């Protein structure tokens, strides 16, 4: 927006009041502004002078910063408020870009005069033009004129008067102590969506030499996705976070569904991340907080709102973030999710903002801030200092995810209290909640898991002896008090030192994952410096939801990686050394370089971009530990019926086969093997004969043979010897041996005769042969009218030829009737190809 001096003349000149020195005792309002011109820029303070009739710049300051100037066509007179004349103004600046409050930008020229007390003066006409709402206590602008949202603002923040109270404050202050209600702006949702200013820690995207960002594919979108794109496009453009682009780069843009059914925009930056020079700014170690937390009794945990979007992309690098949509080509001006350097850049930003408080009463990890103090009174002061500093630097807090004035908080996988830092029980909950084995197979699975850590447990063989004895097939499986004691003792040993070690992000992690049909399991491990052996840091297991159980094997294994990385994000995202993920699914080694992904995989790939890791194949025989954790839920989930689709009120009757209940009951003792297909029941050996009898010999089956029996079994059941067992059973069936089914081909289709429209238009012929001789006649030719059913019976001595038959019909029928159109004759008659009626 071009803002020329809208001056009113006083005796042919301009008024200015900024010629008096500004002392600390004098009340004044100054704003931090940023000026840009060709090839350079500078920041300074600007005095708000409601008595000035033009925007001015100090001559000395302009000369020191090499600001381009030009001569006025006619010199302009200048007067002080008391009417005394001042030196005439003869020059002005070339049009400069003036940025106020980080997001209000315009093009303006300043009149040059001598004012050693302030570099820039913003005048009364400027205030009238933009009509800003000013917070006089903090010297900040809260909102602008409505017209500025169209012309000046790089992010459309509505005026305070137009923001409803439900959007701004009451909802944001839920759970916030009254001591901080005067800082309500720091909890604002709308302010967090505004375009942040350029700062020294803008995200740079430096590319490896000789590389250019790849151009991704354009994803087709469904009708709901196109509507969501239009909504996102309009909001993001209005906020200034994206702008139209002509960049040669272009990542793929698509949507994925959230848990609540809404759509979340995602951009595939994998290609860009592969050629980006990595920012190795270190993330803090949780172990470094042990000493600084000594003596702290009160804790507050803050979570920053819209974190990455609070950082700008370095000027000139925006084109590298370009992405393709059906609505056009756009690029980001703020840090988008999915860039490889995003965590390091954001950590550097927050560290710089809170530099003088770090490790004194503040600990920061990305967008999580921990404030700790020895007393409540001091703690309130500390929290206020942090909130004020965040507000000053355009960083905003998500009140609904904060914890204030607590005596104990969970922070980065640890429980912090006045007693010190303890391990989060959730890290070992998967082992603590291990159910009591109900079969020999479940017990063998637990001992297989335990056997890997036996070298860390003193007298392991003696402790596990009651459990080992139950694995023998020569003894009856009966759970005893001694077995329960050994089971509880081993679980306790797994979740305590020396087995479990504290994670160290400066050393390499190993993540072992596995997925079964009913759950996923994972173990986070590191090699200990004390004994050079791999020790677990944390355990994780997750019961699959009904929809997750429908995933194929590859997607279930990929889900295990996604859940494990999300569970231990606080350690893996900041790891100094790339970590290794072990999986027994070889295809996942190539997932990070796959060209085509479905929506779910693309969402996970976007999440994986935040980590540096390598997926390595490990055979299932060596991947027993996470496998045991993934199968914890087999017994309970196997008997869970799928949720019905039809409402109960529309179901007249349910068909439930008793054989299915019998098989499910058997599966509680013998779990399904991994090779069993989805949606089929594995048939244990004791129930296979019953299944064959149901599919072949039952009253509703009707002995359908091998093919029919197999077809019924394949709909519901599976076992490795299904085909072989069926053939043997049918071959031994006595009923099938006594009653053979016909082998004749199926009958052809019926071809009905045309309906006659008048008498004797259609006739039917047939011969009655081998009759007793009567007057030398043994054959009767029958000629029937198909319309009236009238008939002629003509006795013959023998079966005539076709020519003789035609002659007989002419003499006996045509003589008294009209000619017929068609005839129907017995298939035994052969008139030959040389005769026609």
Q: Hey, what CATH class is 223-423 in?
A: alpha beta
pLDDT score at 164: 37
Q: What is the pLDDT of residues 558-570, one digit of tens each?
A: 888 888 888 787 7
Q: Which fold has domain 510-637?
A: Nucleotidyltransferase; domain 5 (3.30.420)
Q: What is the pLDDT of residues 108-155, one digit of tens each?
A: 889 988 877 788 988 888 888 888 877 676 667 766 765 675 567 654
pLDDT band at 582; cut points 50, 70, 90: confident
Q: Give Cα 331 to chain centroid, integer Å.
A: 22
Q: Which of 70-74, 197-201, 382-386 has the lowest mean pLDDT?
A: 197-201
3-state secondary structure of 513: strand
pLDDT score at 239: 76
Q: Give Cα 652 to chain centroid, integer Å.
A: 39
Mean pLDDT of 753-770: 88
pLDDT at residue 217 above 80?
no
Average pLDDT, rounded, for the chain: 76
Please give the CATH architecture assigned to the domain spanning 2-153.
Answer: Beta Barrel (2.40)
pLDDT at residue 705 above 60?
yes
Q: Which fold has domain 659-737?
A: Endonuclease III; domain 1 (1.10.340)
Please give the CATH architecture assigned to the domain spanning 762-824.
Answer: 2-Layer Sandwich (3.30)
pLDDT at residue 472 above 60?
yes
pLDDT band at 462; cut points 50, 70, 90: low
Are 726 and 694 within 8 A, CB to CB? no
pTM surpassing 0.75? no
pLDDT at residue 359 above 90?
no
Percent of the chain with pLDDT over 70: 76
pLDDT score at 138: 64
pLDDT at residue 758 above 60?
yes
Angstrom distance (rounded) from CA 511 to CA 522: 7
pLDDT score at 21: 44
Residue with tokens 């002078």: 49
Residues comprising the chain, all counted: 837
pLDDT score at 740: 66
pLDDT at residue 615 above 70?
yes
pLDDT at residue 826 above 90?
no
User: Of 505-509, 532-536, 831-835, which one has max mean pLDDT?
Assistant: 505-509
pLDDT score at 629: 56
Percent of the chain with pLDDT over 90: 4
Angstrom distance (rounded) from CA 86 to CA 80: 7
pLDDT at residue 518 above 80?
no
Q: Which of 225-239, 532-546, 548-562 has the lowest mean pLDDT?
A: 532-546
Mean pLDDT of 386-403: 83
pLDDT score at 44: 86
3-state secondary structure of 587: helix
3-state secondary structure of 704: coil
Two tokens, residue 395: 């960083």
Q: What is the pLDDT of residues 147-168, one digit of tens each?
A: 675 567 654 333 333 333 334 4
Nearest to 100 by CA among 29, 13, 169, 28: 29
Mean pLDDT of 372-393: 86
Homologous superfamily assigned to 426-494? Reverse transcriptase/Diguanylate cyclase domain (3.30.70.270)
pLDDT band at 458; cut points 50, 70, 90: low
Q: What is the pLDDT of residues 626-675, one digit of tens each?
A: 665 556 555 444 444 555 565 666 555 555 577 888 888 888 777 788 77
Are 216 and 252 within 8 A, CB to CB? yes
pLDDT score at 800: 92
What ranges do the domains of the chain cover? 2-153, 223-423, 426-494, 510-637, 659-737, 762-824
Fold identical between 223-423 and 510-637?
Answer: no
Bigger pLDDT: 19 or 562? 562
pLDDT at residue 690 above 80?
yes
pLDDT score at 784: 92
Q: Which segments within 155-195 are labelled E, that is strand?
A: none
Mean pLDDT of 222-229: 82
Are 688 and 719 within 8 A, CB to CB? yes
pLDDT score at 169: 43
pLDDT at residue 386 above 80?
yes
Angstrom distance (rounded) from CA 260 to CA 224: 15
pLDDT score at 427: 55
Angstrom distance (rounded) from CA 323 to CA 424: 40
Q: DSSP code of 595?
A: S
pLDDT band at 781; cut points 50, 70, 90: very high
pLDDT score at 796: 94
Q: Which of 156-170, 180-194, 323-337, 412-426 has the lowest mean pLDDT?
A: 156-170
Mean pLDDT of 56-81: 86
DSSP 546-578: TTGGGS-HHHHHHHHHHHHHHHTHHHHTT-SS-
pLDDT score at 7: 36
Two tokens, residue 761: 């238009």
Q: What is the pLDDT of residues 299-315, one digit of tens each?
A: 888 888 877 788 888 88
pLDDT score at 256: 74
């Amino acid at each position: 927006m071009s803002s020329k001096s809208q001056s009113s003349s006083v005796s042919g000149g301009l008024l200015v009041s900024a010629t008096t020195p500004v002392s600390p005792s004098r009340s004044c309002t100054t704003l931090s502004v940023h000026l840009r011109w060709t090839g350079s820029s500078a920041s300074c303070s600007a005095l708000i002078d409601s008595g000035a009739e033009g925007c001015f710049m100090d001559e000395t300051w302009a000369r020191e910063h090499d600001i381009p100037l030009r001569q006025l066509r006619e010199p302009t007179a200048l007067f002080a408020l008391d009417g005394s004349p001042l030196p005439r103004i003869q020059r002005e600046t070339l049009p400069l870009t003036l940025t106020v409050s980080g997001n209000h930008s315009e093009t303006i020229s300043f009149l040059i005069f001598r004012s050693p007390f302030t570099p820039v003066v913003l005048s009364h006409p400027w205030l009238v033009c933009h009509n800003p709402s000013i917070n006089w206590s903090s010297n900040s602008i809260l909102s602008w004129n409505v017209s500025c949202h169209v012309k000046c603002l790089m992010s459309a923040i509505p005026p305070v008067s137009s923001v409803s109270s439900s959007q701004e404050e009451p909802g944001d202050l839920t759970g916030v102590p009254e001591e901080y209600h005067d800082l309500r702006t720091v909890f604002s949702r709308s302010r967090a969506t505004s375009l942040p200013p350029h700062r020294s820690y803008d995200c740079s995207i430096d590319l490896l030499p000789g590389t250019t960002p790849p151009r991704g594919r354009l994803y087709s979108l469904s009708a709901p996705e196109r509507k969501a794109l239009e909504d996102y496009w309009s909001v993001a453009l209005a906020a200034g976070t994206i702008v139209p682009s002509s960049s040669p780069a272009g990542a793929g843009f698509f949507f994925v569904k959230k848990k609540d059914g809404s759509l979340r925009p995602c951009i595939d930056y994998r290609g860009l991340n592969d050629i980006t020079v990595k920012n190795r700014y270190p993330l803090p170690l949780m172990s470094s907080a042990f000493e600084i937390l000594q003596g702290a009794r009160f804790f507050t945990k803050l979570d920053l709102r819209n974190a990455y979007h609070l950082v700008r992309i370095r000027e000139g690098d925006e084109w590298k973030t370009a992405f393709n949509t059906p609505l056009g080509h756009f690029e980001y001006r703020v840090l988008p999710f999915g860039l490889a350097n995003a965590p390091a850049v954001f950590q550097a930003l927050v560290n710089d903002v809170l530099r003088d408080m770090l490790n004194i009463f503040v600990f920061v990890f990305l967008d999580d801030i921990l404030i700790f103090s020895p007393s409540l009174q001091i703690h309130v002061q500390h929290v206020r200092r942090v909130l004020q500093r965040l507000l000053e630097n355009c960083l905003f807090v998500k009140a609904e995810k904060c914890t204030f004035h607590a005596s104990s908080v969970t922070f980065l996988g640890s429980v912090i209290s006045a007693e010190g830092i303890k391990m989060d029980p959730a890290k070992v909950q998967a082992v603590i909640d291990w159910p009591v084995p109900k079969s020999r197979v479940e017990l063998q699975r637990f001992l297989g898991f335990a056997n890997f850590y036996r070298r860390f447990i003193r007298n392991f063989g003696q402790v596990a002896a009651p459990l080992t004895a139950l694995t023998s097939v020569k003894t009856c499986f009966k759970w005893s008090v001694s077995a329960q004691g050994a089971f509880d003792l081993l679980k306790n040993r797994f979740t305590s030192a020396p087995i479990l070690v504290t994670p160290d992000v400066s050393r390499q992690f190993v993540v072992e994952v596995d997925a079964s049909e009913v759950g996923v399991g994972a173990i986070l491990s590191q090699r200990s410096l004390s004994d050079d052996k791999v020790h677990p840091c944390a355990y994780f297991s997750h019961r699959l939801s009904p929809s997750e159980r429908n995933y194929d094997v590859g997607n279930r294994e990929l889900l295990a990686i996604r859940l494990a990385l999300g569970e231990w994000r606080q350690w893996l995202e900041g790891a100094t050394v790339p970590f290794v993920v072990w999986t027994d699914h070889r295809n996942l080694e190539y997932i990070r370089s796959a060209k085509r992904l479905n929506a779910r995989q693309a969402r996970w790939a976007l999440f994986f971009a935040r980590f540096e890791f390598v997926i390595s194949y490990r055979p299932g025989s060596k991947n027993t530990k996470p496998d045991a954790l993934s199968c914890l839920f087999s017994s309970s989930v196997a008997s869970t019926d799928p949720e019905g689709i039809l409402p109960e009120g529309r179901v007249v009757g349910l068909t439930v086969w008793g054989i299915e209940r019998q098989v499910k009951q058997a599966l509680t003792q013998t779990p399904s093997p991994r090779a069993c297909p989805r949606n089929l029941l594995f048939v244990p050996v004791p129930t296979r004969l019953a299944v064959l009898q149901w599919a072949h010999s039952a009253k509703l089956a009707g002995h359908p043979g091998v093919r029919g029996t197999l077809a019924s079994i394949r709909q519901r059941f599976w076992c490795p010897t299904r085909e072989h067992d069926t053939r043997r059973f049918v071959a031994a069936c006595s009923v099938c041996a006594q009653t053979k089914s016909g082998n004749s081909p199926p009958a052809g289709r019926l071809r009905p005769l045309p309906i006659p429209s008048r008498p004797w238009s259609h006739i039917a012929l047939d011969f009655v042969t081998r009759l007793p001789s009567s007057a030398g006649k043994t054959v009767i030719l029958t000629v029937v009218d198909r319309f009236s059913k009238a008939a002629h019976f003509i006795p013959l001595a023998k079966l005539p030829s076709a020519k003789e038959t035609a002659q007989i019909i002419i003499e006996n029928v045509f003589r008294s009737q009209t000619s017929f159109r068609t005839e129907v004759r017995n298939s035994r008659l052969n008139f030959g190809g040389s005769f026609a009626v």
